[in-house]
């Protein structure tokens, strides 16, 4: 059996161009984070999703579906190594078609069977991740990086010779001003080379945030000469020496990115809580499930670890935490162990963004049942 595993963006192109003609595809999204390796829970979620699929396929298609399920299960039980937050898997049952990719964020558990791969969660994930640029600079050297989805995507190095700042010898007093001016001009030339390269990287791979590290003198000149398009993206500093290893640069960028993310999540939650009494935002489980059922959610926000049992309507897909019958069509609800993955899938089906917050943001949202949403109208 041939398995192709790659990074996320190239995989999207492969999936769009190479799915088997006249053949349905099994699309699987699983939360494979550290909290779900016992059992392992993600495998049970996959099997539960497959049970639901079997109820909806014709007898003529059942054999093909079972072949794809067996192919995916073999990968999960004998080839897959947990460690990343999520997994996307696409199987057809054909020996030469199995695609898998680790995901940098946990998706909602989802299993679909259709004539095309289900790619919306991958596009949503790509849209949620920022590209970050980092510059580590001193007076003669500069190292430039772009980091995307946890990896160094591109890097460049700039080297310029810079003369000493001071003259020596008996004519020191007369030459001092000349040497200082020449030194400053050469440092400025080096900074301009760096800015030109950084702008080139920005046009090739537009980045959302810019982090700076290095010597104070070079950084001061660099900050002063950044054009507005780059200055507006300044997000922080890195405590790095110019010759730090690539691994140390990546680690520092990822730590800074995580801290910026935590700050943004906390601001998001506080803004949502402040707006909860307005007509365009809701907080709380019942309120959020209600607007989700009405198709009004623009952005769903959940606390990390949010989990609640409830029920789903087999007729209109309405979710409920407490009711025994659907509040819309009065159909008896089917019990579900966890509403979270179904709420996430429902939000994405209606084109809504989904954000799972962590840390202090998660704790504050859990004080309001761990879930809320911004509305379209």
The last residue of a domain, from among 90, 109, 127: 127
Judge whether 267 lies within some domain. Answer: no
Judge whether 264 lies within some domain. Answer: no
Q: Is 43 exposed, middle or buried (0-12, 13-18, 19+ CB in 10 A)?
A: middle
* Residue 104 shares a structural domain with residue 164: no
Tell me, what's the pLDDT at 107?
83
Residues 249, 136: contact at Cβ < 8 Å?
A: yes
* Residue 8 shares a structural domain with residue 123: yes
Judge whether 152 lies within some domain. Answer: yes
* Residue 139 shares a structural domain with residue 109: no
Tell me, what's the pLDDT at 3?
39
Q: How many domains does the chain have?
A: 3
* Residue 191 shares a structural domain with residue 169: yes
* pTM for this prediction: 0.66
* Residue 291 shares a structural domain with residue 346: yes
* Residue 10 shares a structural domain with residue 123: yes
Judge whether 262 lies within some domain. Answer: no
* Residue 11 shares a structural domain with residue 121: yes
What CATH number does the domain containing 291 carry?
3.30.1330.30
Judge whether 123 lies within some domain. Answer: yes
Cα atoms in the Cβ-side hemisphere of radius 13 Å centred on 249? 27
Backbone angles phi, psi at 39, to 5 degrees: 115, -60
The last residue of a domain, from among 92, 110, 127: 127
Tell me, what's the pLDDT at 2?
34
Other C-beta atoms within 10 Å of 159: how many? Answer: 10
Token pair, residue 351, equals 């084109």
The last residue of a domain, from among 244, 264, 293: 244
Judge whether 211 lies within some domain. Answer: yes
* Residue 104 shares a structural domain with residue 142: no
Which long-range contacts does 57-65 make (Cβ < 8 Å, 24+ apart)?
57/113, 61/24, 64/23, 64/24, 64/93, 65/24, 65/26, 65/93, 65/113
Judge whether 253 lies within some domain. Answer: no
Tell me, what's the pLDDT at 34?
79
What CATH number does the domain containing 93 carry?
3.30.960.10
Tell me, what's the pLDDT at 172?
52
Judge whether 266 lies within some domain. Answer: no
pLDDT per residue as tens, the chain (377 positions) = 333 344 566 666 666 666 555 678 899 999 888 777 777 889 999 999 999 899 888 888 899 999 999 999 999 999 998 878 889 999 988 877 888 888 887 888 899 998 888 887 887 777 667 899 999 999 999 999 999 878 898 999 999 988 765 555 444 554 566 667 787 888 899 999 999 999 999 999 899 999 999 999 899 999 999 999 999 999 999 999 999 999 999 999 999 988 988 898 999 999 999 999 889 999 999 999 999 999 999 999 999 888 899 999 988 888 999 878 888 888 999 888 889 888 988 898 888 888 888 889 999 999 999 999 999 98
* Residue 91 shares a structural domain with residue 112: yes
Q: Which residues of 298-323 are buried (b: 16+ CB within 10 A; e: fewer)?
A: bbbbbbbebebebbbbeeeebbbbeb
Cis amide bond preceding 183, omega within 30: no
| Sign of the Cα pseudo-torsion (7, 9, 10, 15, in order) | positive
* Residue 134 shares a structural domain with residue 237: yes
Tell me, what's the pLDDT at 5?
40
Tell me, what's the pLDDT at 345?
82
* Residue 119 shares a structural domain with residue 138: no
What CATH number does the domain containing 140 carry?
3.30.420.60
d(CA 115, CA 68): 13
- Residues of the domain holding 212: 130-244
Backbone angles phi, psi at 183, to 5 degrees: -60, -45
* Residue 279 shares a structural domain with residue 338: yes
d(CA 134, CA 122): 26
């Amino acid at each position: 059996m041939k398995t192709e595993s790659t990074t996320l963006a190239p995989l999207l192109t492969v999936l769009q161009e190479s799915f088997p003609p006249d053949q349905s595809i099994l699309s699987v999204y699983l939360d494979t984070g550290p909290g779900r390796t016992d059992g392992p829970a993600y495998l049970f979620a996959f099997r539960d999703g497959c049970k639901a699929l079997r109820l909806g396929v014709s007898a003529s298609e059942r054999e093909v579906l079972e072949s794809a399920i067996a192919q995916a299960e073999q990968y999960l039980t004998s080839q897959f190594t947990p460690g990343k937050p999520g997994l996307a898997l696409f199987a057809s049952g054909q020996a030469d078609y199995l695609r898998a990719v680790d995901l940098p964020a946990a998706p909602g558990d989802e299993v679909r069977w259709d004539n095309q791969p289900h790619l919306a969660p991958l596009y949503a994930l790509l849209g949620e991740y920022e590209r970050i640029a980092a510059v580590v600079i001193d007076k003669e050297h500069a190292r430039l990086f772009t980091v995307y989805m946890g990896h160094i995507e591109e890097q460049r190095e700039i080297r310029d010779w810079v003369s000493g700042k001071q003259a020596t010898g008996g004519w020191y007093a007369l030459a001092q001003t000349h040497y200082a001016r020449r030194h400053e001009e050469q440092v400025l030339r080096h900074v301009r080379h760096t800015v030109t390269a950084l702008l080139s990287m920005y046009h090739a791979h537009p980045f959302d945030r810019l982090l700076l590290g290095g010597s104070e003198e070079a950084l001061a000149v660099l900050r002063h000469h950044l054009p507005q398009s780059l200055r507006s993206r300044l997000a922080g500093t890195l405590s790095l020496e110019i010759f730090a290893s690539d691994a140390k640069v990546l680690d520092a960028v990822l730590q800074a990115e995580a801290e910026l993310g935590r700050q943004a999540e906390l601001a998001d939650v506080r803004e949502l809580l402040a707006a909860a009494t307005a007509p365009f935002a809701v907080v709380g489980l019942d309120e959020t499930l209600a607007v989700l059922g009405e198709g009004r959610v623009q952005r769903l926000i959940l606390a990390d670890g949010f989990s609640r049992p409830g029920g789903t309507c087999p007729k209109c897909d309405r979710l409920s935490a407490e009711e025994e019958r659907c509040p819309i069509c009065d159909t008896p609800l089917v019990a579900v162990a966890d509403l979270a993955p179904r709420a996430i899938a429902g939000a994405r089906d209606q084109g809504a963004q989904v954000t799972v917050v962590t840390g202090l943001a998660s704790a504050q949202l859990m004080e309001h049942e761990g879930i809320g949403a911004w509305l379209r109208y």
